[in-house]
Structure 1
Amino acid sequence: MPNSGSSNSNGAAVKGKRSRRRSRAPREDPARNELVSNSLQSAQHCLLQQDHGTAFVHFLLALNLAPALKDLARESFRFTLLKWADELDGVGRIQELFDCYEQALELFPKDEVIVNSMGEHLFRMGFRDEAAAHFYKALKLKPDFPEAKENFYRVANWLVERWHFLMLNDNGRNRKYQLAIQRAVQDGCRSVLDIGTGTGILGMCAKKAGAREVYACELSKTMYELACEVVTANDMADSIKILHKKSLEMEIPRDIPHRVSLVVTETVDAGLLGEGIVESLIHAWKHLLLPPPNSEDVPVSIPSRTGRVIPAGATVFAMAVECPEIRRHHRLCVRAVGGLDLAAAGPIRGPVKCSGDADESSEPYTTERLSRLPGGFTALTEPCRVMSINFNNPQELEGLCLREAAQLRVPLIKDGDVDALAVWFQLHLDQENSISTGPDEDTCWEQAIYPVPSHYSVKCTDELLVEVSCRDAYLRVSCTGVTSGSQTPHMDEAASAEVPSNPELELCSALAGLQTDHELPAQPFLLECSEIALLNNANYHECFQEALAKLFSFFQSRQSEVIEESGSSLGPLYVLDVSEGFSVLSLMAARLAPVRAYSSVEKQQHQALLRLLARENGVRVDALEFWLGHVEDDSAVLQRPDSEKLWSAIMLDCVEICGLLRQNLMEKATFARCLLEDGGRIFPERIVIHGVLVESDTLLQESAVQGTEPTLGFNIAPFINQFTVPVHVFLDLSTLECTRLSAPAEMFVLDLMDSSKNYSCRDVRVRVNASGRVTAIPFWYHIYLDSDIFVSTFRPDSHWKQVAVILQHPLVVSAGDWVRLCVSFHKSSISMTAVREERKEETAVH
């Protein structure tokens, strides 16, 4: 059959033709292959010579010419990139650094290690939004990538601050805003601008209430993108326009077509004005809002052509308090620690200065939840109204910062020591709805704390003199003195001391004269609140003093033996303190024995304070040195003191103030061990982690949005909960609202002196002693300086806070149950999973 034969023949021909195409080898290019081979060889040679920049260039050339080799060369290329990037970072060649990462990502766009590493550099340089995007992308590429997880969890706290969860879980607050917005829209406010929209909840309330046009703006890129996701999920993407910019940059008609009739906002902090609400509302009244009802621009016959603001205003209250916890973070409360007399330093105070004459760079207040302060507080005055603001009066807003400081006389109701003024406010949303941030309210808010800079006592017959001002758009509330009957107002001299405009320069100048004269510096030394709390931690310094004394006693007895045998001395011991921030451990060491003590403090003012304390405590001038002046960069801070010497003791700072272990702790310990002389020690030698099972709705509320009920039915939780983190930081376990379901148990041990004793994972069985739901596992550290002496991070005088692992799914338990915890350690991160073990009788039933 010719037709069939013809068909078969054609088919065979086609098949043969396809076969030949598949088997044809690619055309060889000898010159290209030789160039690729030479480049790879050159790259490897440069790596051996630690010439990472040249090696990187050779790798780029070879892999661009021969992409098929990418999988084989991936590990070497990664190593080269990371090393070269660190070198570029170290010398400040930032543009070249990011050019290298962009070139690397063109070759390996889905390499999670490169993506994560670029995020780390971005974060160190302050580009938090961009860094988070890279960490998030790295996790998407490899969900179980531990480094990206740890990085994302750390940066998530910066991007979406934890108060967002508390605020969204505060149904009372959300409901009152919703009612006020509904009333305004019903009154004719049909065009709405939500300033600082966050997740978009207030804008969605306006749309749901019937607003015709809704606009919103958000400065944070992360929150802007989050708000866009939220309004889309709630089917409002077409009816709410969200802009990624500050309201101060918005213009008509570029950003919105015309003036709006209602602005809604909650750009207020614990001190009311700290997020710039006054500035943003002044701008809004001038450029974005319709005129207020009392404006001459609005005819009485057209009330719908007027604008308004929610909240309508605020009333601010203050109360003097006595509180040891506030005191120990803002004022030196001890005269001596670890054998050192601190009185020689004169006044030491924190960075918070709230008086009206403070420079604009100083912090006017800090924040605390008074109801959760360890040890509580005592109210020394009744709450008094210190200021009212009408946000619907543009003239009042413009004159707020120009007002003369108000002087108030507040009667004392108890004897005591004034430690701070606690400030809160009532936010008047409209005539019927208001929100109070007071210490007695069940609210998501903290209170603003204005510490008193020095100690003075008051009687219940006295009056406190209080000054209130709004200079530089911050609310400043300060104690200026006390009146006792007809007596003249008085206040401690230290309390009224001024901060120099350039404290470091003036301190250096003042201290230059101290070589011949023993007068104290005229100005107080400034330390961070956590550094003051550390100085006030007597137990911490006593433990270090005892451990150092034991180590030096060992070395001195050994030196005595050497002298007896050989007649020659071994010279001084070398001690290095690499604590973060201000530390007196190096001085303590220098007082205990003939040592050369090296401190890693960097700030000139810190160095000046240590020199002053050294002189007043009889420490020789040559016994104390500042080590960062001897090394080329911070990464070399653990290097040996000279080519012939090793360290006798290295003091590592292992725990951050927030309660987390410091990053790269174990790597630093490994390096430090190599630099110790025989018999030398790392302080601490080991860290034991203790934890407890708890049930705490508070921790759940602060860690994730709990469904749609608190958010008025809007679907917000799945989007913002992407930024939940498994470890809750800055926790004060002593005042946490919780039910303890077990006794404390040892969870994990990290040995800094003997790496062979370390492990990465450990199973721990914990006995339940009360029925409930295990929602979290708070933990803290026993920091062992030697085999017997330890410092606990869970003490009333601790300068550290605790942390808690939040369980993804609460575990229902009964008294008598056993819970098996799998505790894992990677880099500096602790993670835990919990499983309830079945009882034998339960197993038999099944």
Structure 2
Amino acid sequence: MPNASARPRNSRRPRRRRRVDPARNELVSSSLESAQQCLFNQDYGTAFVHYLLALNLAPMFKDFARESFRFTLFKWSEELDSVGRIQDLFDCYEQALELFPTDEVILNSMGEHLFRMGFRDEAAGHFHKALKLRPDYPEARENFYRVANWLVERWHFLMLNDHGRNQKYQQAIQKAVRNGCNTVLDIGTGTGILGMCAKKAGATEVYACELSKTMYELACEVVAANGMDGSIKILHMKSLEMEVPKDIPHRVSLVVTETVDAGLFGEGIIESLIHAWHHLLLPPQRGENEIGEQSATGRVIPAGATVFGMAVECLEIRRHHRLRVSEVGGLSMAAAGELHSPVSCSSEPDDSMEPYTTERLSRLPGGYKPLTEPFKALSIDFNNVQELEGLSCTEVQEIRLPVIQEGEVDALAVWFQLHLDEESSLSTGPQEDTCWEQAIYPSHSTRGFVLKPQDELIVEVSCRDAYLRLCSVAVLRDGQKIHLDKCVDPQHPGNPVSNPEAELCSKLACLQTDQSKDLCMLECSEIALLNNHDYHQSFCSALGKLISRLKSSQCDPAVPTHCASPLYVLDVSEGFSLLSLIAASQGHVKAYSSVEKSKQQEVLKRLAHSNNVPEQQLEFWLNHTEDEQGVLQRPSREKLWSGIILDCVETCGLIRQKLMEKASLARCLLEEGGHIFPQRIVVYGMLVESDILLRESAVQGQEPTLGFNIAPFINQFTVPVHVFLDFSTLECRHLSESVELFVLDLMDTNANYITREVKVLATSAGRITAIPFWYQIYLDEEISVSTLSQNSHWKQAAVVLQQPLEVHAGDWVCLSVRLHKSIISILAHIENKPATMD
């Protein structure tokens, strides 16, 4: 008899009906009800806990409660953020994502918090997930574009598109592997291209390390796509943390790296190579290796470098690092004290200062003038560990440079020749077509001192903290040594003070006064802003017109002028701004400044005092503002604002985030007849053909990357808008005249729109690769400033098309322009020939 309990093999057991649990249902119901009541009472923390309990017990209510849950999460996270409970904030987001792992809004919001806290890699991951879930989600796209510029810097694209550079590295690696270097470590692998070169050359073992999580994951994808995932081991760690045999089984015979920046040592190559020679590389002399076999000599590619420099005069560098003007917007700057950028070099390390910045000299507006011939500042052998270890102990070297042209020293420009091996080298010089910029060591101590032919400039070179440091210290003229940090005769700025008595008095004054009190560091963009005479003069005129009009409208013959209530002006500019003080200097105005740093506030107070602006007419009140929208609120005891100054354009060339929201709030806070500055922004653009913008924005196929399949992976981090652009020096062909693309009206909300269709006439044949854009900023109907002007402290930006668009002279190109928050996107096609571009 068949077993009665046996079931047919392919039959399914009947699903057991879930038992109804009245207590559970009651708990879910009461928790949802309590959550809604807590929301009504604005008790967001308790509401969040109730939602967590209910939705974990009854997931079927997720869709029903999603919007309320999001709102609760965001409000509760704002409260946690405001009181500094950051860990609790992230714990709440992790709990939320356990409930809603595919909610793009929550992912994007958590990414925003992570980015604001400095966790850029993690933020990028959340933005990327949000975009994969919803590719048309504009907030996530804008956030991803912003973070992509941090994670994968634009030089990665230029470097990978530099076929000559890549080929020279490949040839040096091939030769080393043929000569017996069969085990290879690639330090700072980036996309993995050098490690793949070693494997393709025949290396038996290849290891690579990368600190950036984004680049590590990218390298893993690239190596797998090129069929080498089983033969190249990639480690997500610093080389300084690597050990044998914990991380790699034994010492390697070859280290390849390109952890060099424009100043050569800024990415820590000295420290990483010292560690590699002691712990990861075979010794430079022949000997027995760990397994008893004869080993090739350990070596490094690149083998070494030679650093060069020259003194230059350059107005563009000067205006970003030193105050060039004696008055700003009608205010004398004599009492400002010493204002300079945070980029300043001395032989003594100073953690508060950066020793150099970077520029591409060939693209600087106005160019530069060499004041000396190029000189050799330093040579280093990366295959000599004793030399590497002794670098930071080397005495300060003094070099004398004959002056070849008359001029003022604005900077020492530095570049290097990277010796890959005995035969091959790469140069980062200003005349080379290279992916590197040059290091710029600005001079703060030579203001007003003009070098002349037959002078000798004395430069100090040191490496005391593994940074290359260069500074101009003195000039030899007619046998006398003139120290450039000494006082300069204000009546004859080209000549040093020669009166010994005056010099002694100056030294005594320096002893009696704490000179550091008068020293204030500003960002390079803030220095350039102060030097923008047209900008401040235009604001001064526009403010003057408004104040004069409002004064006359409130005139009452029965009220003495000095008794009339003042006008109120608010400046909400980002960073250091003199606009509030310019407003206060107009008289009958009380101005509120958003400057927060105490040193910068002291500068404004000194300037107010020296320009006879009463102390009570200037107030600082944003020091403790937590709420981003709070910058436009004012004390309840005061009347409405007469004028509100908004900072509309970022230095990089983009519209500031949340500008229109702030403008909307500002309009509600204006008194009748009040004004927002600026009142209107007009965006202009032009069709151009520019190969350099393509190379800086995306990897162009497999040919420049030696046939390796890298482009699809790194191009995920391509952003459609190229920022910090100098249109005046951009290598490009103009294919049209400039046209108006978009208008933002800050005073009239009804005049604004989301998208605009623009027709542009192509004046020349070519490939449209990009559309650079800039702004005409209208302070009122008559007064405006351009971000394209020669003295502008703003840079420009450009939309780069994913696919170039072929045009002929006379074609009409249709542009669909859209501004979402601060990101401009453009779809382009030739009339009657549609093609989608972004």
Q: Which residue of 2 aligns with 1:283?
A: 275
Q: What letter matches 2:53 in structure 1? A: L
Task: Give the 3 Å change call, closer, same or farther, for CA 816–44 of structure 1 in structure 2.
Answer: same
The separation in 2 between residues aligned to 1:233 and 1:58, in whole angstroms, is 47
Question: CA-to-partner distance for each residue in 1:97-145, whole Å, 9 max, x for gaps?
Answer: 1111112112211110011101100100000000000000000100100
Higher mean C-alpha deviation, range 101-110 or range 423-432 = 101-110
Q: What letter matches 1:88 in structure 2? A: L
The separation in 2 between residues aligned to 1:257 and 1:602, in whole angstroms, is 54
Matched, 1:149 2:138: no
Show the 5 A alignment for 1:818-829. Answer: 818-829=812-823
Q: What letter matches 2:714 in structure 1? A: I
- Report if aligned partners of 2:594, 2:621 keep a CA contact under 8 Å in 1: yes
The separation in 2 between residues aligned to 1:521 and 1:422, in whole angstroms, is 28
| Aligned partner of 1:208 among 200, 204, 209 | 200
Q: What letter matches 1:131 in structure 2? A: A
The separation in 2 between residues aligned to 1:784 and 1:726, in whole angstroms, is 27
Higher mean C-alpha deviation, range 97-106 or range 149-158 = 97-106
Question: CA-to-partner distance for each residue in 1:771-829, whole Å, 9 max, x for gaps?
Answer: 00101011011111112211211111111111100111111000111111001121222
The separation in 1 between residues aligned to 2:622 and 2:832, in whole angstroms, is 56
Q: Which residue of 2 aligns with 1:548?
A: 543
Task: Give the 3 Å change call, closer, same or farther, for CA 520–465 of structure 1 in structure 2.
Answer: closer
Q: Which residue of 1 aligns with 2:299?
A: 308
Residue 283 (structure 1) shift: 0.4
Task: Give the 3 Å change call, closer, same or farther, for CA 38–644 of structure 1 in structure 2.
Answer: farther
Q: Which residue of 1 aligns with 2:163?
A: 171
Matched, 1:753 2:747: yes
Q: What letter matches 2:115 in structure 1? A: F
Question: What SS does the corresponding residue of 1:575 show, helix, strand or coil?
Answer: strand
Question: CA-to-partner distance for each residue in 1:188-216, whole Å, 9 max, x for gaps?
Answer: 11111110000011111111111111111
Q: Report the TM-score when normalising by structure 2.
A: 0.92
Task: Give the 3 Å change call, closer, same or farther, for CA 819–338 of structure 1 in structure 2.
Answer: same
| Aligned partner of 2:465 among 469, 472, 475 | 472
Matched, 1:525 2:520: yes
| Aligned partner of 1:785 among 757, 771, 779 | 779
Task: Give the 3 Å change call, closer, same or farther, for CA 297–601 of structure 1 in structure 2.
Answer: farther
Q: Which residue of 2 aligns with 1:538?
A: 533
Question: CA-to-partner distance for each residue in 1:158-200, whole Å, 9 max, x for gaps?
Answer: 1111000000000110011011111111111111111000001
Residue 486 (structure 1) shift: 1.0
Q: Which residue of 2 aligns with 1:69?
A: 61
Show the 5 A alignment for 1:398-409. Answer: 398-409=389-400
Q: Which residue of 2 aligns with 1:508?
A: none
Q: Which residue of 1 aligns with 2:474?
A: 481
Residue 373 (structure 1) shift: 0.2
The separation in 2 between residues aligned to 1:783 and 1:493, in whole angstroms, is 42
Residue 569 (structure 1) shift: 5.7
Question: CA-to-partner distance for each residue in 1:446-487, whole Å, 9 max, x for gaps?
Answer: 000011103221001101101000011000011011111312
Q: Which residue of 2 aligns with 1:774?
A: 768
- Report if aligned partners of 1:563, 1:569 keep a CA contact under 8 Å in 2: no
Q: Which residue of 2 aligns with 1:272?
A: 264
The separation in 2 between residues aligned to 1:696 and 1:472, in whole angstroms, is 40
Q: Which residue of 2 aligns with 1:510?
A: none
Residue 308 (structure 1) shift: 0.6
The separation in 2 between residues aligned to 1:594 and 1:518, in whole angstroms, is 35
| Aligned partner of 2:27 among 15, 24, 35 | 35
Q: Which residue of 2 aligns with 1:682?
A: 676
Q: Which residue of 2 aligns with 1:670?
A: 664
Question: CA-to-partner distance for each residue in 1:279-311, whole Å, 9 max, x for gaps?
Answer: 000000111111113x8999xx99844211111
Show the 5 A alignment for 1:632-647. Answer: 633-647=627-641
Residue 644 (structure 1) shift: 4.4
The separation in 1 between residues aligned to 2:55 and 2:557, in whole angstroms, is 63
Task: Give the 3 Å change call, closer, same or farther, for CA 427–630 of structure 1 in structure 2.
Answer: closer
Q: What letter matches 2:771 in structure 1? A: I
The separation in 1 between residues aligned to 2:251 and 2:523, in whole angstroms, is 45
Show the 5 A alignment for 1:560-709. Answer: 560=555, 562-564=556-558, 571-629=565-623, 631=625, 633-709=627-703
Question: CA-to-partner distance for each residue in 1:708-734, whole Å, 9 max, x for gaps?
Answer: 110011111111000000000111111
Q: Which residue of 2 aligns with 1:810?
A: 804
- Report if aligned partners of 1:452, 1:478 keep a CA contact under 8 Å in 2: yes
The separation in 1 between residues aligned to 2:353 and 2:691, in whole angstroms, is 36
| Aligned partner of 2:453 among 452, 455, 460 | 460
- Report if aligned partners of 2:473, 2:485 keep a CA contact under 8 Å in 1: no
Residue 494 (structure 1) shift: 6.5
Residue 567 (structure 1) shift: 10
Task: Give the 3 Å change call, closer, same or farther, for CA 172–402 of structure 1 in structure 2.
Answer: same
- Report if aligned partners of 1:763, 1:822 keep a CA contact under 8 Å in 2: yes
- Report if aligned partners of 2:461, 2:471 keep a CA contact under 8 Å in 1: yes
Residue 252 (structure 1) shift: 0.3
The separation in 2 between residues aligned to 1:223 and 1:568, in whole angstroms, is 65
Question: CA-to-partner distance for each residue in 1:536-565, whole Å, 9 max, x for gaps?
Answer: 0001101110111111011101110x4559
Instruction: State how many pairs are aligned.
Output: 800
Q: Which residue of 2 aligns with 1:448?
A: 439
The separation in 1 between residues aligned to 2:624 and 2:675, in whole angstroms, is 22
Question: CA-to-partner distance for each residue in 1:749-779, whole Å, 9 max, x for gaps?
Answer: 1111111111111111111100001010110
RMSD: 2.5
- Report if aligned partners of 2:349, 2:464 keep a CA contact under 8 Å in 1: no
The separation in 1 between residues aligned to 2:351 and 2:459, in whole angstroms, is 20
Question: CA-to-partner distance for each residue in 1:57-108, whole Å, 9 max, x for gaps?
Answer: 2222232233222212211211111111111111111111111111211221
Which blocks of at least 5 consecutive residues in structure 1 are unaligned? 1-13, 496-513, 841-846
Question: What SS does the corresponding residue of 1:798 show, helix, strand or coil?
Answer: coil
Show the 5 A alignment for 1:362-377. Answer: 362-377=353-368
Task: Give the 3 Å change call, closer, same or farther, for CA 221–548 of structure 1 in structure 2.
Answer: same
Q: What letter matches 1:419 in structure 2? A: D
Residue 633 (structure 1) shift: 4.6
Show the 5 A alignment for 1:75-90. Answer: 75-90=67-82
Q: What letter matches 2:552 in structure 1? A: S
Task: Give the 3 Å change call, closer, same or farther, for CA 732–194 of structure 1 in structure 2.
Answer: same
- Report if aligned partners of 1:453, 1:494 keep a CA contact under 8 Å in 2: no
Q: What letter matches 1:659 in structure 2? A: G
The separation in 2 between residues aligned to 1:414 and 1:209, in whole angstroms, is 50
Task: Give the 3 Å change call, closer, same or farther, for CA 489–640 of structure 1 in structure 2.
Answer: closer
Question: What SS does the corresponding residue of 1:649 show, helix, strand or coil?
Answer: strand
The separation in 1 between residues aligned to 2:621 and 2:173, in whole angstroms, is 59
The separation in 1 between residues aligned to 2:561 and 2:570, in whole angstroms, is 28
Task: Give the 3 Å change call, closer, same or farther, for CA 521–624 of structure 1 in structure 2.
Answer: farther
Higher mean C-alpha deviation, range 69-78 or range 409-418 = 69-78
The separation in 1 between residues aligned to 2:554 and 2:791, in whole angstroms, is 38
Residue 631 (structure 1) shift: 4.1
Q: Which residue of 2 aligns with 1:6?
A: none
- Report if aligned partners of 1:219, 1:246 keep a CA contact under 8 Å in 2: yes
| Aligned partner of 2:231 among 239, 257, 262 | 239
The separation in 1 between residues aligned to 2:557 and 2:357, in whole angstroms, is 56
Q: Which residue of 2 aligns with 1:336?
A: 327
The separation in 1 between residues aligned to 2:562 and 2:573, in whole angstroms, is 34
